[in-house]
């Protein structure tokens, strides 16, 4: 069975609701990336140096990442020689296939849940990326799964952070453990872990301060939080999720590199993917960081945080082209 047929069959087994969410959430990227490539193929019938240069610009513009783009172009050149492709239109499905391979990587392992007690998930990331919103949406997800959830308001420094988390707690119908603004974040975590034990909570979601990653005191605070949590639950936190804003593109990648090295990040959450035409940042992140993208934000509703699914992502971008290729193969059969 061909690559495109396998992909289509795999997607047909997914729920239509999730497929539609990915399709809607990636509309800007689809128009920006796939639309620009289609336009290039129509304008330039011939594959020459100028064609490759324009293709490079399109891919870099979609934040696929310079290193990844250079490797991709080299692979395309090799395929053109190997398959003796002359018409630019024949290169488009090859590009789709190559991008798909880059995106798929290892399958999303899902969240690491504690089978014997409270699962503690720590959220890190700079201010303004949607960290508190992500925590609220994830609390809602766990609630929908029938789990008892609690939130810890560990970002005690940013004005309004505690109140914002409380609003999300009310929306999701979960308790928020807090102290006054300016309190010691580690003390909040201590209270939260003790309360979670007393109330037989399944999942404790912990917000943390989001000042810039080059502030050494922030890393000291995170280490202190780790120690306090581990004294109460030795194998916690079970996940350290770094929240990144997809609309910031390469800046998000830089944040992940700097923050991830210092704070023991186990996975990434990419927010506001629906608000950018540069969804290629997902490719760059998966290629340049040895960290899985575990969740993506595909809209503003409480249910729009979805587990990252590479096949859904690819299908949302290339659905029309995938269908065309399958139909061509069926005609030739």
pLDDT value of residue 213: 45
pLDDT value of residue 326: 52
pTM here?
0.85
pLDDT value of residue 50: 92
pLDDT > 70: percent of the chain = 85
Considering only residues 323 and 260, tell me which one the structure prediction assigns the higher pLDDT. 260
For 254-258, what is the mean pLDDT? 77
- pLDDT per position as a tens digit, 187-243: 999 999 999 999 999 999 999 987 644 455 777 888 899 999 999 999 999 999 999
- pLDDT per position as a tens digit, 81-98: 998 888 888 887 788 778
For 251-274, what is the mean pLDDT? 81
Distance CA 201, CA 120 (A): 10
Neighbours of 115 (CB within 10 A): 5
Distance CA 247, CA 235 (A): 34
Lowest mean per-residue pLDDT among 272-276, 284-288, 312-316, 321-325: 321-325
Q: What is the mean pLDDT of the chain?
A: 84
Decide if pLDDT at 329 tops 90.
no
Residue list for the binding site: 125-132, 207-211, 271-274
Considering only residues 94 and 185, tell me which one the structure prediction assigns the higher pLDDT. 185
Same fold, 3-107+312-332 and 119-309: no
pLDDT value of residue 57: 92
- pLDDT per position as a tens digit, 41-56: 888 888 899 999 999 9
Decide if pLDDT at 16 tops 70.
no
- pLDDT per position as a tens digit, 17-38: 557 788 888 888 888 888 888 8
Q: What angle do CA 41, 55, 289 make, to 5 degrees?
A: 135
Phi, psi of 293 (to 5 degrees): -80, 110
Distance CA 332, CA 221 (A): 63
Domain range summary for the chain, segments of one domain joined by +: 3-107+312-332, 119-309
pLDDT value of residue 105: 58
pLDDT value of residue 131: 93
**What percentage of the chain's residues is helix, strand, coil (to nearest 5)?**
60, 10, 30
Phi, psi of 247 (to 5 degrees): -70, -15
Decide if pLDDT at 181 tops 80.
yes
Is 119-309 a domain of CATH 3.40.50.300?
Answer: yes
Residue list for the binding site for GTP: 125-132, 207-211, 271-274
- pLDDT per position as a tens digit, 110-148: 899 999 899 999 999 888 889 999 999 999 999 999 999
pLDDT value of residue 212: 43
Return the CATH superfamily for domain 3-107+312-332: SRP54, nucleotide-binding domain (1.20.120.140)
Cβ–Cβ < 8 Å for 273, 25: yes
Decide if pLDDT at 288 tops 90.
no
Distance CA 200, CA 141 (A): 18
Q: How many CA atoms lie within 13 A of 177 on its CB side?
A: 26
């Amino acid at each position: 069975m061909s690559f495109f047929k396998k992909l289509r069959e795999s997607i047909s087994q997914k729920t239509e609701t999730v497929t539609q969410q990915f399709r809607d959430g990636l509309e800007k990227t689809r128009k920006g990336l796939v639309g620009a490539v289609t336009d290039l193929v129509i304008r330039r019938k011939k594959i020459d140096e100028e064609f490759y240069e324009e293709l490079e610009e399109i891919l870099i513009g979609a934040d696929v990442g310079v290193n990844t783009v250079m490797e991709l172009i080299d692979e395309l050149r090799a395929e053109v020689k190997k398959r003796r492709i002359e018409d630019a239109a024949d290169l488009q499905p090859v590009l789709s296939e190559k991008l798909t391979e880059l995106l798929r990587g290892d399958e999303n392992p899902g969240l690491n849940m504690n089978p014997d007690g409270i699962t503690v998930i720590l959220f890190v990331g700079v201010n303004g990326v949607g960290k508190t919103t992500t925590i609220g949406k994830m609390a809602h997800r766990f609630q929908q799964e029938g789990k008892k959830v609690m939130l810890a308001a560990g970002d005690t420094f940013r004005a309004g952070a505690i109140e914002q988390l409380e609003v999300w707690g009310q929306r999701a119908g979960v308790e928020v453990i807090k102290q006054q603004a300016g309190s010691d974040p580690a003390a909040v975590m201590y209270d939260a872990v003790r309360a979670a034990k007393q109330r037989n909570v399944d999942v404790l979601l912990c917000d943390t301060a989001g000042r810039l990653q080059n502030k050494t005191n922030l890393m000291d605070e995170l280490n202190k939080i780790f120690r306090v949590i581990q004294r109460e639950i030795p194998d916690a936190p079970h996940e350290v999720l770094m929240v990144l804003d997809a609309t910031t593109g390469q800046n998000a990648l830089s944040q992940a590199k700097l923050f991830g090295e210092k704070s023991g990040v186990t996975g990434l959450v990419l927010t506001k993917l629906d608000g950018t035409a540069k969804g290629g940042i997902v490719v760059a992140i998966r290629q340049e960081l040895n960290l899985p993208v575990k969740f993506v934000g595909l809209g503003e509703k409480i249910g729009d945080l979805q587990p990252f699914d590479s096949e859904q992502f690819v299908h949302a971008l290339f659905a029309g082209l995938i269908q065309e290729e399958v139909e061509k193969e069926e005609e030739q059969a």
